Chains A and B, each alone.
Chain A
Amino acid sequence: GNSVTQMEGPVTLSEEAFLTINCTYTATGYPSLFWYVQYPGEGLQLLLKATKADDKGSNKGFEATYRKETTSFHLEKGSVQVSDSAVYFCALSRRNTDKLIFGTGTRLQVFP
């Protein structure tokens, strides 16, 4: 079946460090891929997405590239800030309006 696997956290970094959160997926066909973020005390919100192979999603300095050959969608940011501390969820959807299948989430903690 379809599934998403992401690295366990917490990931603890100092401000301005480089961030990678790994995400791999298993799916039939060509899913759309997403990263959602949950800031403390807030609901989940879409961070970025990619709908086809080799697409790069980007937002707020975060990037992720849809790699079909490695079935991956790793999240990266060149210089993290304390305000990036949150839980990050990788997700896939097989087609428009279908349900999202989420990974277990990775908590990021950034210290000054």
Chain B
Amino acid sequence: GAGVSQSPSNKVTEKGKDVELRCDPISGHTALYWYRQRLGQGLEFLIYFQGNSAPDKSGLPSDRFSAERTGESVSTLTIQRTQQEDSAVYLCASSLTLELFFGEGSRLTVL
């Protein structure tokens, strides 16, 4: 499809395990963003890529969180040693200009 694709759509994991979340942006979009949306809360910025460099990582909540991007393509958000407070919907968006196009998110549940 032509939109932003995220996988998995749902992930249930045990506390302490590592998880990887994947984002396929819209082809040609140079900017890619990761946000977190906890239940009943707003969107929390995590990290922003321009191409494969990350000029703004200010939102990553701890060193357990990391992200990488291959060129202007796929991005992976990795959470190591997951904790219950990591439970949230992780949203990816891509853009070429001012408008961000969002995926449907990956819902992470840490038991």
Contacts and interface: CB of A to CB of B under 8 A. Distances in A.
Contacts of A105: 42-43
B42 A100 contact: no
Interface residues of A, number: 22
Interface string B22-54: 000000001101010000011101001010000
A43 B103 contact: yes
Contact of A102 (B30, B31, B42, B105): B42
A96 B98 contact: yes
Contact of B43 (A32, A42, A98, A102): A102
Nearest to B45: A99
Contact of B97 (A36, A89, A96): A96
A101 B56 CA distance: 13
Contact of B98 (A36, A43, A51): A51
A73 to B, nearest CB: 14
Contact of B91 (A43, A93, A101, A103): A43
A98 B45 CA distance: 11
B48 A46 contact: no
Contacts of A93: 98
B100 interface: yes
A104 B42 contact: yes
B95 interface: yes
User: What 6 A-B pairs come out closest when comparing CB atoms?
Assistant: A104-B42, A102-B43, A44-B102, A43-B102, A43-B104, A99-B48
Interface of A: 32, 34, 36, 42-46, 49, 51, 89, 93, 96-105
18 contacts: A42-B104, A43-B3, A43-B4, A43-B103, A44-B43, A44-B91, A46-B99, A46-B100, A96-B98, A97-B50, A98-B48, A99-B45, A99-B59, A100-B33, A100-B45, A100-B100, A102-B43, A104-B41
